Structures are given as C-alpha cells and as structure tokens.
Structure 1
C-alpha cells in the first residue's frame, strides 16, 4: 500500500469510529426523550410543553426537535405500546364467551388504562392524523368495539340506543374526572364509570337525547389535539 493510502485509510477509520458514537448518542438521546415524555405526559397530560420534556430529559430544545420535529411524532413514540395494549384489550373482550361481560370488562379495562396514565387518557380522546400508527391501532380497536356492541345487543343485554359514540363521550368524561380527582382521590373514576355501565344495560329506563353527529364528535376530538404540532418555540398547546 502506498504511504498516502495508509494515511487515508487511517483517517477513514478514525472518521468511521467517530461516527459510531454520534449515532449511539443520537439513539441515547432519543431514548432519554421518550422516557422523559412518559414521565411528563403521565403526570401532566399532553398539555405539557415540549420544553418541559426536554428539561426532564436533560437535552436542549434543538436536540428535542431534531429527534421529534412535531409533538405528534413524540406522542406516537411514547404511546405506541399502550395503543398496542388497547387493541389487545379489544381482542381479549371479544374472546369472552359472555357478550355482556366482554363488553363491560372492555370498558372497565380502557378506563383503568386512562387512570394509570394521564397522557394516555388524553390520547384516547384525541384524533391525531399525523400519528398514523396510533390512528391505525385506534381504527382496529374501534372495529372490535363495534363487534362488542353488536354481540351485547344480540344477547339482549345492551340497550338498543347505545352507539359507539357513547364510548367516546364516556372516555372524555372519565378523562375529566381523572384530571379533577387524580391527585387526591385516584379511584374516584370507578364510581361514575360503574354508573354509566349500569345505565347501558337493558331494560332502558327512558329515552336519551340524540348523540352528537360523527363529524361533530370528530371535530371535538381534533380540537383537543390542536397545538400538538409545535414550532421550535418549545411551547405546548
């Protein structure tokens, strides 16, 4: 090998060895940001700012936005495993041979998931078009819930005027209860959820007002997610 070739090879090896720590550092920063976001979102909900996540992770805001250019991308990374669990809850409920038990256990499980993680309580009541994986999981769980509804109605246990929109309203209501009582009465949510479940059962005690239209409910879910796509100000919603 020509001496110049030897020198070039040495430089190349040095550059390659230097690049590896950079890649490792980037991955470590990403993992730290996700772990910090789990803590911050779980404690404060999705209203927490990107800057607060960066402080928790011990990284600069510029590093934060290099790893996650939008808040939706960060939310998707943080809650991917919880959305997988959400889908599994639907499958487990459908595997229950008792339609009413499967239906009610699903509602209780999902509400308990909200209670365990304030950030996830927000995710379940939002539509996040920029988080395609989360939305795909939501769609899969929704189809399973439609089947749970149909089975519970066919068995004569679920009142005929119940719709899938009623679950969205219940989750929104539960998120509100958790926000108000979580710090001082963390199990308070169980009582209104039990009331709601009992009200779903036949025989119906009386007629209900019409549920919101699908488009209106979707807009309500979108409204709660406004601000997740943030500029590099570090501000939240």
Structure 2
C-alpha cells in the first residue's frame, strides 16, 4: 500500500491481518506496539489496539508513515564524505538496528512453533542469529573507529591510530561484508529465495518477507561502503 492510500482509508476498521497481508511491513509496526497480527488477525485495528493497550492514533500514524522514502541512492556518489557517512548511519545502520530484533523475534517464534516438524527451521533460525550477531558489532566498529578516522582525514587531519594505515580497517570491514553476504546466500538457498511454503503461518511469511527486504537493504548498504565511501577514503592524502 502507498502512504496516500493508507491516509485515505478508515484504518481503525480494517482487520490487522488484512493490513499485514497487503503490506508485510505493517507487521513490524504491530510488533512495536505488541499488537497480535497472527492469531488476532481478524480483529479491527481499533479492537486490536484496545486489546494491546496501544494508542490507536499513534499506530495509525506509524502505519501511514512506514512507506516514506529517503534520498535517492543514485545521487549519493556526489555527496561529501561527511554527508555520505551521515546517510549510511542514519539510513542503513538505523535500518539494521530496527529490523534485527524483529528478525530474531520472528525466527525464534518459528523455531518454537515449527522447529520439530520442519527440518529447515532450526538451521534457518541459527543462520539468522549468526547474521545479526555479526552485523551489530560490525556497525559499532564502523561508527566508533573507522568512520571517525575517515571523517578526520576528510577534514585534512593527520590520523594517529592503532590500526595503522586506513586501508587496514577498511579491509577488515570488507571481509566482514563478505561474511554477511555469504550468510545471506545460505539463507537464500535454505528458503528458496525467501519463498514461504503454502503451509507457512503468518509469522513465517512475514519473517521471510522481512529477510528479503533486509537483504536488499544490506546489499545497497555494502555497495555504498565498498564502492563509494571506502574508495573516497583511500583517495585521501595520508
């Protein structure tokens, strides 16, 4: 659904299950407000908010704004190093931190409900954990070590750091990017490219759809760093 369509609807009377079916990202909004979109999918949004103790107006606002898009990424190569880092942190790092807890939540629900009956669920949940466990500290290393050094170099400052030349932490981050892509490739193979089977429950379908979105965002994230930010940094005078 588009933002305009949602803003023109009487959201309070729509079933939460229908909202998720139309746009799986609604599930993320409902999870943030502890609204049951699976077993309670037949309830209207107003009824579901009342049961969860959530503010209907806040939930409606969150649903309407979930489709907002940011800067067109094909223009990002023209940004200064400082602005590009800001964009990566504000857009992609924030995205990983927002979606990671949801992916862990959904995959663990799948494991509890279906782990004994479907052989792919246990390795799937394990791979999701590996992906998130690797990515979260990766973001911290970039934000606390690499990005400040790149910003300083862009300002003409001499960087005296324990890691030596800036190429060293860049190589380390690129290696970790490769590891994340490899884990995503394994998840792709295990899930038939995130295609939920016919017998999958709502949480299962939402988890696969979220991972497909997560993969697309992460690949763009890695592209911006590997192919735009890091070459800009390496081109700076020592």
TM-score, with length taken from structure 2: 0.33
Which protein is bigger by CA-based radius of gyration? 1
